[in-house]
Structure 1
Amino acid sequence: MTRAATVPSNGTVLADTGLPGLVTSGAVFETLIDALQASIARLAAGDAPTRIGVPPVISRELLQRLGYVETFPHLLGTVHTYEGDDQEWRELAAALRNGEPWTRRHELSDVALLPAACYHLYPQLTKAEFTEPAVFDLTGHCYRHERTSEAGRMRSFRMHELIRVDKPESVLGWRDAWIERAAEWLRTLGLAVNVVPANDPFFGAAGRMMGTMQREEQLKWELVVEVADGLSQAVVSCNCHKDHFSAEFEFRMADGEAHTSCVAFGLERIALAVLHKHGADSRHWPAELTHPVVAHPAG
């Protein structure tokens, strides 16, 4: 049985699973997540995005093709399954009851835990030709093997992503516009925002060089807010991928090359920031989350 752990900085109750970076959330937290999701949908409505649902696991082969295995091995979570027969399991079950290891017949499966919601999108665009810009909307349960108990740095979390496919100069402009749009949205939630250049946590010496190049080209910007007393974290990431995905999956614009950009919202971190600022009583939450103004088309 898990024990209820009150998080003093945000006034809500989370269930402590006993594992770092892994919690379950109560009704107040989930109500807030739902309100944030609805607010993000309103924020993105002008882009008329195509919504796509994604599973929490992904092809291991696809992650390797995307370069994730090589660049983020420290964050990757794989799935192993039992491959033995009934007799072997009876032996392993006996070992289990004796407190001995029971995983020696578990083998690596063909799937891994999903590290980013957008990774499911790009194979669907293989060899596509776009006559106009396209925006896609995905929300997924993601996993990254963080080795910390720091508030907001969860191993299992939800990511809401918007991805645009367009001409190179246009996706960059879209990304920059979303930096401003997302920052202003966070301010409507009562949060003080710091917009900073950033890089992904690439692994190893080669990864540090990649991170330096990413910063120099200003391909990644993060919107940072306070999520607990004295602790600020990135809650939104705005990125330009250039042709990393379009070249691999051979999709293009009808009149030339296609690039992609994305904006990613870390839902749990934003919820923590709102609770830290306003508390768990929804009557004190910003009107955007409790009494939103919804624009209706003329007619």
Structure 2
Amino acid sequence: MPDAAAHSPVADATPTNWVDATAPASWRPFLRLARADRPIGAWLLFWPCAWSVALAAVASDARYPDPILLILLAIGAVAMRGAGCTYNDLVDRDIDAKVARTRSRPLPSGQVTAKGAAIFLAVQLLVGLTVLVSLPGFAILVGIFSIAPVALYPFMKRITWWPQAMLGICFGWGALMGWAAIFGRLDSAPLALFAAAFLWIIGYDTIYAHQDKEDDALVGVGSTALLFGERTRPILAGFYLGAVALLGVATALAGGGALSWIGVVAFAAHCGAQVKKLDIADAALCLKLFKSNRDAGALVFIGFAADALLRL
């Protein structure tokens, strides 16, 4: 690998990200492959997991969300987000080479070989598997069922306008995991939580996809950004409204108190602000709004966690 390649950041990475600023040069291409230079995806994968753990604490009258479980799921989120990105880039490397925003990624730019990426993928999957098998048996079973949608996701843009829906399944799956680990079963509350996450994810990934819609159209792949087009704002409002309503259903089913509801209301306000600010012709704004969903997810978790911690 040419030394210069290790110093070539990905086009849509923050210029001051820690990978390009401080990581050893030999590690940088692999860290970029796992999107460690853009940690927003790990946050977005983690939040449904954290919601599930915190909502289970509310439902079980625990004094706080299980910290060990949160740590395990956080490690799993980082590892599996990195694995998912690596797998996606292996499948999409020819498409990525044709798209302006993605052609600087490690595989199409030649920073990492396909063989090297496959080995790195195996290492990340091993970390994820280690986390999974450390969970209770029923949670392991629930986690296993997530493999199929994760494996199918990179191919969805080739056959449907709705790859964001498959991402919603993959990234929303964590909404089932915390509850399954704590209670050893699935109930209506985590199913409603999963449905809320599913709609939220379709919404924010549609915003993200508007960055690439021209290139996607040229390459011949589908997205909800292309499907919705100028109708994106009202459709996005519908998805976010559905997510808020389902969060409310999950909160009610789990017996959430005032602080849980405050978190849901704050989430609703954040999503409403995204809809109001959205300009689908402004790629930089789309990226900014997409990234702001880290804070939206945090609001829900803080509400649930505070409800468990401060309940009288």
What TM-score, normalized by structure 1, do the two folds share? 0.29
Larger radius of gyration: 1
